[in-house]
Structure 1
């Protein structure tokens, strides 16, 4: 092994999590969940554990016509779903609409007016503008639910900062925007987080689903909890004595409990984010940040003359220039192949690189993605240990899980090492995302 390779490994060592540290993260998350579920301790908890008021999961026999609206990033999806009992008899059409940047950071009323406009366009395109159709609203931001049709935004994430929305009921704001248009009739049946939508989408096909997970632009999870463990529950205790809990686990570590695994790259990403000190767990895992974490490490190696002969490029040195998709593309090649990496370095205007440089770039990408997968595994193992079912299915969606070539296998291996003896699990990809949340 060359002296350069040794030095690179030494610099990148802090990105490697030992088994002991991953186990510690799992146990810390369990403590935080207990705090979030407690009536007295919840105000101090960073993992808020919001009850969703969803008590029962689908069984695949549901029937009817539904609309679904899935808002969680720079694009959102509108779906029209017709169910006739069973997967083979269901039909779904959908369309993706963009959320322009000026709307993402502008007045809240403009955001909901834009959504209402897109809903109207979609309904007219499919000839259902004169029907009153129930709608499920998947709103993928930290929300305190006060019922199936009332969700109060706690804080914006993922680059959104619309004014006059935090602390308000997003269902009411959507209904008001629809009424302002006056050209379609929509009955909002439920507001759900995308993790709950993913869980219900997969439960429609597999009754053993108990956990919903998103690893995309952001990350979050939900799971089915027994009512007697939910100190914040304010509903009835009739059967089924369970409720889906939306963890909002992206905020895990906001109190400093994860500082023992924080690296210089994590501190840099956080310092330059629009929500400094918040969503700490998410910033180590999700697609919005993974590319920049790898980019920061690579820029340091370049500055120290360990890659690219110490010569980067103006573009390479720009914040955000190393995209998360590059990690998937580089790791998607067989070991020893470098064509994808070469194309990316060309795109970043880096010249004079060697095949050895490409191998070092891949090494950094692997460290970032493996650390992200390990942290997700710690969280999921915590939930599987809480549920204690002999076999449980985890419903998963999100671009990182879908497109990173090794993420599924890394998760399967990592969770297996962290769950209690006698427990078994499967990971199930949500085929239609968080759109089929309505049944």
Structure 2
């Protein structure tokens, strides 16, 4: 006869509510097999349209070689604020000056024209403040949203993520929208020469000093990865004139956050994942990202804590009107803070509970909160590790550096070590790897991409866009 709730111990009952986060090694190997299949589907012409993982070619054909020189602007747009940077390159010497600007909520939910006008206004002020109005400045644009790239400086937004819902942008060339706004709102001589996402920027920045680096990973508000792929494996590469030119490679923007949108990852998901998804702004989308990234991890923890509290297993005196019971109020930074406690005093956990207005908690409550945080973050780290192991095995190089950036990776006290342990378990014997923090990838990396793209214009004999600004100006005026 099965035991009743009364017969089960408190911790056995808690375990029943959280056991779904404890996936076996076999489960992670199954994730790898599925991811490899889905990546191939994204690369093949016949299956790309239906593939969840789009595997977009970025048109970035080369990594930095140390010869890059000059002044470049970089624009880093990927969240609730953005940065404008002036990057001066002299070989391996780099000088960076930058400023951060906020994006109001009304603009995030407004029109595309409002968004790009706001960005252009800020770029104009930045250029003026640095006395560069008379300079012709190439710009590398880090745009950290899913895009279909059609050229180095042409990318159409596939879908908004991270809380953005600006009208009139999906399906449009975001470089053209920004260039039009710059011409409309400023007197700057700025030409957008390359567009990348933050993963590509992260890879480019790290590869500038480490030539074994061919994978870039973002673990922050979102989660995405890019890597250098051989052109022979990219069925969606449409420019046959360039295919036979060297280098025969291109960086692939996987957009792997959408892995599992077809249901193949349902065996890894819990009731809390499904509830989070139901109440998200994009139900059924970005399934893998929702199990890993900083935008969602805190909410998964909150949903577990809420369930345990309602079951009488946690916070016996909790006020049901406190922020713990409000969606989105347990931030992912709380997970990092809770897990930074290394003794029995739970100083950081207590500060978090006080911010959530939880009163009369016990030391046992603190232990349970930390336990839940460790389970949710470990699953996230192991899923990310399984994804990286898939790529490391795919590239099959003896020494591989993975550039990583993002607030989750930077600030979580255990994420790096957890990922390394799981990758070692999952990669082929004999393959060595290291994870390195990529400093300012979405800024420095964007500028380096712009510099490399200018070099590739000559190297690959690509048509230049020297008259692009004049032609675009005439279009707008007419």
Q: How does the TM-score come out when normalised to structure 1?
A: 0.98
Equivalent residue in structure 1 for 2:13, among 7, 29, 42: 7
5+ residue gaps in structure 1?
none
- CA-CA distance at 1:310 after TM superposition: 5.8
Report the secondary structure of 1:281's partner residue: helix
Name the counterpart of 2:247: 240
Name the counterpart of 2:466: none
Q: 2:282, 2:317 → 1: CA distance?
A: 32
1:400 aligns with 2:408: yes
Name the counterpart of 1:290: 297
CA contact (8 A) 2:110 2:166 kept: yes
Q: Deviations over 1:128-151 (max 9, x none)?
A: 122110000000000000000100
Equivalent residue in structure 2 for 1:336, among 331, 344, 348: 344
Report the secondary structure of 1:436's partner residue: helix
- CA-CA distance at 1:84 after TM superposition: 1.1
1:250 aligns with 2:257: yes
Q: 1:269, 1:312 → 2: CA distance?
A: 22
Q: 2:21, 2:372 → 1: CA distance?
A: 9
CA contact (8 A) 1:302 1:312 kept: no
Equivalent residue in structure 1 for 2:157, among 153, 157, 165: 153
CA contact (8 A) 1:304 1:310 kept: no
Name the counterpart of 2:208: 204
Q: 1:423, 1:388 → 2: CA distance?
A: 7
Name the counterpart of 2:280: 273
Name the counterpart of 1:413: 421
CA contact (8 A) 2:204 2:441 kept: no
Q: 1:229, 1:67 → 2: CA distance?
A: 33
1:425 aligns with 2:433: yes
CA contact (8 A) 1:313 1:348 kept: no
Q: How does 1:369-384 map to 2 (within 5 A)?
A: 369-384=377-392
Q: How does 1:18-97 map to 2 (within 5 A)?
A: 18-86=24-92, 89-97=93-101
Report the secondary structure of 2:274's partner residue: helix
1:120 aligns with 2:107: no
1:387 aligns with 2:375: no
5+ residue gaps in structure 2?
1-7, 449-478
1:363 aligns with 2:363: no
Structure 1 segments (4+ residues) deviating >3 Å: none
Q: How many residues align?
A: 436
Report the secondary structure of 2:10's partner residue: helix
Moved more, 18-27 or 293-302: 18-27
Report the secondary structure of 1:228's partner residue: helix
Name the counterpart of 2:361: 353
Q: 1:231, 1:421 → 2: CA distance?
A: 29
Specify the structure having the higher radius of gyration (Cα): 2
Name the counterpart of 2:334: 326
- CA-CA distance at 1:420 after TM superposition: 0.8
Alignment RMSD (CA, Å): 1.1
Q: How does the TM-score come out when normalised to structure 2?
A: 0.90
Name the counterpart of 1:165: 169
